[in-house]
Structure 1
Amino acid sequence: MRSGNTVNVAPHDAVVALAAEIAITAAAEAGLAIRAGLSGALELRPKGGSGDLVTSLDLRSESIIVGRLRRAFPDHRIMAEESGLLDGADEAWCWVVDPLDGTNNIAVGLPVYSIGIALCHYGVPVFGVVHEPTTGRTWSARRGHGASGPNGPLRRHRTPPPLAGPTLAWLQGYPVARTDPTARALRLTLESGARRLIQLWSPLLCWIMLSRGDIDGFVGYRAGVVDLPAGSLIARESGITLTGFDGAPLDDRIDPVGQEVSFLAARPGLLSDLTLLVKSAADVTVSGLGGPAIPISR
């Protein structure tokens, strides 16, 4: 995704229709495997030096999803969270797979996690599905055809935020350090201007909350690209507007080798205020709290 004009690409409807069926089935199957796996011992190991984790559940879910996609579309490329970019003969199509969005929540016993699968045509997301294994609920969207959930089409209620301010979600990418001055200034500014600022550690579910009207806006700073296309497409198709921090429309296109994206997303009527709030963070300096975490003696 990049700031700029959205590219309109007309993919083959038959491919997208079949893709939707396969992806929804794969997400549900992977969700059942995750729920079953939680009844046993959870194997955790660090992934990289950013504090992220991977479990056997991530790998099992990804194996199920990638296997189904490969069988149905052997020539498509796949960009998966754990496996990276899996090449294919047809470069026009690329799947983006987040097999377990919320691994860190599972690690601390918090049942807040999801699965995201998106299909991109020449980099533009044309279908996305988000599945919540804990409840078995699924949300999906086809580009230009709207978004739907367990209770039918997603239609947001265009009500004003409460007088105490909007409820916002916050996401920062795993490579962002705790002492990153931009992230700290953004968080402080958003908390000051919002009724509540939430950080779920499962950004796909934040996109769903925004699409349903549960929250008013979503701000991401240097977010990983795997977390974005499925949820953001559902949000767009439910009437949410997405921009960069500069206020320019956010281009949908996904780079198969991955990139970091900073974005604003909000319900109609709030985006201009949210943009001004984020821009005001440039004048904020947060001092102190630097250095490594300090153990607390008891």
Structure 2
Amino acid sequence: MPLARSAETGLAPDAQDLSGHLGTARRAAHAAGDFLRTRTAQRADFRSKGVDGDLVSDLDLGAEQLIVERLRADFPDIPVLAEEGGFYGATGSRWSWMVDPLDGTNNLAIGLSAYVVGIALCRDWQPVVSVVHEPETRRTWSAMIGAGMQGPVVHSQHACRNRTVVAWTQGYGVLRTDPQASSVKILLEWKTHRVLPLWAPLLGWVMLARGDIDAFVGYRPEPVDLPGGLLLARESGVRVVAWDGTAYEASFDPGSVGGAADRSFIAARTDRLGGLVGLVEQAASMAPHLAELASDRATALLTR
């Protein structure tokens, strides 16, 4: 029986067609999770993979190899775009796997076990299957487009639940002095109860989907883990819009025009969404003043 169409994407794949893909993705994520869980207590080799602060380790590479081998074994005609190794297989297919073998490497590098494994299947660069696995707790969340999210949901009942808790993510290429990012973060700190810079975007998406936080705001986010998180959120009833409040229509094609700027998002339940869109609009008017202040500060330091 065909799945119902997603209200936001309009795609309607067949459930039978995707169930095999979902099963393979779950098994691959669990294998990678077992690998990571047994090795995080050991000394890992963390090293920079660029000038923008991102890290890679032997843990990322080992988990990625396990995942890619399993995906390619079951679906050899579907190429894989992975965080560390790039493309595996021929490009040009309507279908593609997108893999983040260890989302949270920077957390592990400082001894913080806040990380997950993420696998998404895209058709025409839009997500139709998603699996996120948390190795430390052995919990898994998954979704097929139109079929809802599956996985443990434990809604927090702490005292601040009547106040907005927001996760934040930004791309590694975003500078600390970026006035647009800085202005939004300042207002989020002022006007919400708590802002979580998790350094593991898929963990933020899972927390939003299961109801532990109220919103997730992203500025020029990295592309590989975004499709899987987006599908989990949408299938749990979360609305996702662009920073101007319009429909979120970002492409995850690495060759698409526009790039990271077009991927900025606001994700929240309907009752919190309007306020956050207004906050981002207000921040836009602050950005030029922050840029001017940053420039003046830099000039003062250089002339000392």
TM-score, structure 1 length as denominator? 0.88
State the match for 1:46 in structure 2: 48
Alignment partners' CA distance in 2, 1:155 and 1:134: 17
**Secondary structure, counterpart of 1:141 in structure 2:** strand
Select 2:182's aligned residue among 180, 184, 188.
184
Alignment partners' CA distance in 1, 2:26 and 2:132: 8
TM-superposed CA distance for 1:6, in Å, is: 4.4
CA contact (8 A) 1:125 1:253 kept: no
- Is 1:107 aligned with 2:109? yes
CA contact (8 A) 2:218 2:265 kept: yes
**Equivalent residues in 2 for 1:1-298, closer than 5 Å:** 6-88=8-90, 91-150=93-152, 162=161, 165-251=163-249, 253-257=251-255, 259-260=259-260, 261-284=263-286, 285-286=289-290, 287-288=293-294
Alignment partners' CA distance in 2, 1:267 and 1:12: 28
Structure 1 residues without counterparts, runs of 5 or longer? none
Alignment partners' CA distance in 1, 2:70 and 2:199: 27
Change (3 A) 1:91 1:256: farther
Alignment partners' CA distance in 2, 1:12 and 1:141: 14
Cα deviation code 1:163-216 (max 9, x no counterpart)? 5x4111111110001111111111101111101111111110111111111111
TM-superposed CA distance for 1:13, in Å, is: 3.4
- CA-based RMSD: 2.5
Moved more, 184-193 or 81-90: 81-90
Report which of the two has the higher share of helix. 2
TM-superposed CA distance for 1:288, in Å, is: 4.8
TM-superposed CA distance for 1:92, in Å, is: 1.5
Cα deviation code 1:201-256 (max 9, x no counterpart)? 11101111111111111100000111211111011000000000011111264214
Q: What letter matches 1:84 in structure 2?
A: G
Change (3 A) 1:182 1:89: closer
TM-score, structure 2 length as denominator? 0.87
Identity over aligned pairs, percent: 45
Q: What letter matches 1:217 in structure 2?
A: A
Alignment partners' CA distance in 2, 1:181 and 1:117: 33
Alignment partners' CA distance in 1, 2:250 and 2:179: 27
Using CA pairs under 8 Å that are at least 6 residues apart, name the structure with larger relative contact order, 1 or 2: 1
Moved more, 50-59 or 5-14: 5-14
State the match for 2:3 in structure 1: none
CA contact (8 A) 1:9 1:124 kept: no
Cα deviation code 1:40-70 (max 9, x no counterpart)? 2210110111011000000001000010000
CA contact (8 A) 2:12 2:146 kept: no
Aligned residues: 284
**Secondary structure, counterpart of 1:28 in structure 2:** helix
Change (3 A) 1:228 1:32: same
Change (3 A) 1:155 1:143: farther
TM-superposed CA distance for 1:87, in Å, is: 3.5
